[in-house]
């Protein structure tokens, strides 16, 4: 079976700019809500060559907001090595879309609480 290469037609600059502007507002809204719920996350946290939208060092949880750019196959493919490397460091990456943040923020909080619970149940002192 032959593989197919799908070419993506470039979007207009206006569409891309609109998406990026909204993405920034969504990131700020999530950070505000995380702070209100007393979750301690750092913004734009860099680990080696990779930068996460948010990172909680205490529980090794990173949050990535997948906006418009992540729909392109080249961006998705660039994320693959990042996923393997970060996983090897014991960091859990939670990925959410702009839409999820705007529509169901409580589900995001449930996911974070679940990861904290998992971290606490598997952590031990030597």
Q: Domain segments of the chain: what residues?
A: 13-122
Q: Give pLDDT, residue 15.
A: 46
Q: Give pLDDT, residue 34.
A: 95
d(CA 96, CA 108): 8
Number of neighbours of residue 51 by Cβ within 10 angstroms: 14
Could you read off the pLDDT tens digit of each residue along the chain, which spans 126 residues?
444 444 444 444 554 455 555 677 888 999 999 999 999 999 999 998 888 999 999 999 999 998 654 454 555 566 677 778 888 899 999 999 888 888 889 999 999 999 999 998 875 555
Q: Give pLDDT, residue 5.
A: 46
Sheet holding 61-66, edge to edge: 42-47, 50-56, 61-66, 92-97
* CATH number for domain 13-122, candidates 2.30.29.30, 3.40.50.300, 3.40.960.10, 3.40.1590.10: 3.40.960.10
Q: Give pLDDT, residue 83.
A: 77
d(CA 58, CA 120): 10
| Cβ within 8 Å of residue 89, ≥6 positions away | 47, 60
| Cβ within 8 Å of residue 82, ≥6 positions away | 50
CA angle, 40 then 30 then 99, to 5°: 145
């Amino acid at each position: 079976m032959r593989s197919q290469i799908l070419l993506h037609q470039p979007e207009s600059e206006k569409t891309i700019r609109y998406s990026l502007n909204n993405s920034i507002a969504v990131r700020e809204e999530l950070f505000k809500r995380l702070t209100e719920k007393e979750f301690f996350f750092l913004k734009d946290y860099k680990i080696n060559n990779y930068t996460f939208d948010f990172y909680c060092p205490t529980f090794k949880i990173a949050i990535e907001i997948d906006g418009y750019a992540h729909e392109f196959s080249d961006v998705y493919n660039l994320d693959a090595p990042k996923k393997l490397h970060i996983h090897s460091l014991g960091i859990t990456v939670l990925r959410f879309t702009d839409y999820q943040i705007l529509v169901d923020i409580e589900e995001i909080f449930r996911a974070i609480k679940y990861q904290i619970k998992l971290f606490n149940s598997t952590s031990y002192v030597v």
